[in-house]
Structure 1
Amino acid sequence: MANENHILIGKIGAAHGVKGEVRITPYTQFAEDIAAYGPLITDRPGLTVTITDLRVQKTVAVARIEGVTDRNAAETLNGVSLYVEREVLPEPEEEDEFYHADLIGLEARLEDGTVLGKVSALPNFGAGDLIEVRDPRSGDTYLYPFTRAVVPEVNLADGYVIIVVPLDAEIGEEEPD
């Protein structure tokens, strides 16, 4: 079962074809890297999976899983999340590279120290990474570009990020009806 030392690296989707292949949405920098970590931990108790063959098709990986030989078996894996132990991942090579798991839960602050909330996700809808901040008072979430201009400081040791709110954004303001 996944825990805080496990890093999510992909999610199995639909079966692909009739010979037991599955589609995997990889959360690794390069889709093919998901097969490089050996047996993968899953969010299903007692289940680990080993990718024996993988090819990349656009934004998904099509994989053969050890022991899965037909479509019915592949369909039972739909929705399974794939994890690795944190210590098997290499340390980021660049100063401004981070694992999403290391950022989620950090406090988000303005430059003057005002707390905006906590980092709740780092989505990418195709136009670049975003940083999602949840305001604990209202429950509202705010999306900011995850760029050096908007997030000039990430302090993992002290548990916070600095957000410079873009001029066209209003914090805590309601949208007009």
Structure 2
Amino acid sequence: MSDPVSAPEPVLLGTIGGAHGIKGEVRVQSFTADPEDLGAYGPLRDSKGTVFTVVSARAQKNVVVVRFAEVADRNHAERLNGTELFVDRSKLPAEGEEEFYQADLVGLVARLTTGAVIGEVVAFHDFGAGDILEIAPEAGPSVMIPFTEIAVPEIDLDLGFILVEPVAAGLEGTVEAREGEESDEDGASS
């Protein structure tokens, strides 16, 4: 069996959190459109190639409580905390026009509507209030912006970039401050 790292196109579908109850159930942060569809695409695998077959999944607050066929008790469930669950992209439904998977955006260049490059998309986060894009600049700490149509009005997978509206993304002062720091480091005055 191949592990997701060597699989043609692994896609992260969820991350196991803590154990739930005493019968081996776990809490999973699901990244599927319908969180309970975690097992709809076949068995999942971790980064080591271990198979996890979803027997049941039920939504509970902001996670899915999952029973895996391979996990029999709470002790085993506790050892899985932090395990990422993957499926090969070929198992997922094809995207329609104007659709994409979040994984497709990681690695794209993030540009402001002014044309200035602000960094590279490195991750998606969901802290409960909506999707957040993490963008890492060449220097300095990464920035997080809301992943909304207003903040990110254009995505071009073919050309490899996303367009970011700085005011809607909450970056207007941050980006200007960084550009000023870069000018100071280059010896130019701002």
TM-score by length of 2: 0.81
Question: In the TM superposition, what is the alpha-carbon distance from 1:114 to its structure 2 partner?
Answer: 2.1
- Which amino acid in structure 2 is aligned with residue 156 of structure 1? L
Q: Does 1:141 align with 2:145?
A: no
Q: Matches of 1:122 and 1:72 in 2, distance apart?
A: 30
TM-score by length of 1: 0.86
Match of 1:107 in 2: 109
- Which amino acid in structure 1 is aligned with residue 76 of structure 2? A
Match of 2:75 in 1: 72
Question: In the TM superposition, what is the alpha-carbon distance from 1:52 to its structure 2 partner?
Answer: 0.9
Match of 1:87 in 2: 90
SS at match of 2:177: coil
Match of 2:127 in 1: 125
SS at match of 1:34: helix
Where structure 2 has 5 or more consecutive residues not aligned to the other structure, the ranges are 179-190
Match of 2:160 in 1: 159
Q: Given the alignment, which residue of 35, 47, 50 partners 2:50?
A: 47
Equivalent pairs: percent with the same residue?
Answer: 44
Q: Does 1:36 align with 2:40?
A: yes
- Which amino acid in structure 2 is aligned with residue 23 of structure 1? R
Q: Which has the higher helix share?
A: 2
Q: Does 1:57 align with 2:60?
A: yes
CA contact (8 A) 2:42 2:91 kept: no
Match of 1:15 in 2: 19
- Which amino acid in structure 1 is aligned with residue 159 of structure 2? D
- Which amino acid in structure 2 is aligned with residue 135 of structure 1? P
Question: In the TM superposition, what is the alpha-carbon distance from 1:129 to its structure 2 partner?
Answer: 2.2
Structure 1, residues 51-77: CA drift from partner, whole Å, max 9, x if none? 112211111111111132211122222
Q: Matches of 1:128 and 1:79 in 2, distance apart?
A: 21
SS at match of 1:122: strand
Q: Matches of 2:75 and 2:148 in 1, distance apart?
A: 43
Q: 1:132 to 1:73 in 2, by over 3 A?
A: closer
Question: In the TM superposition, what is the alpha-carbon distance from 1:113 to its structure 2 partner?
Answer: 2.8
- Which amino acid in structure 2 is aligned with residue 15 of structure 1? A
Q: Matches of 1:73 and 1:22 in 2, distance apart?
A: 10
Match of 1:6 in 2: 10
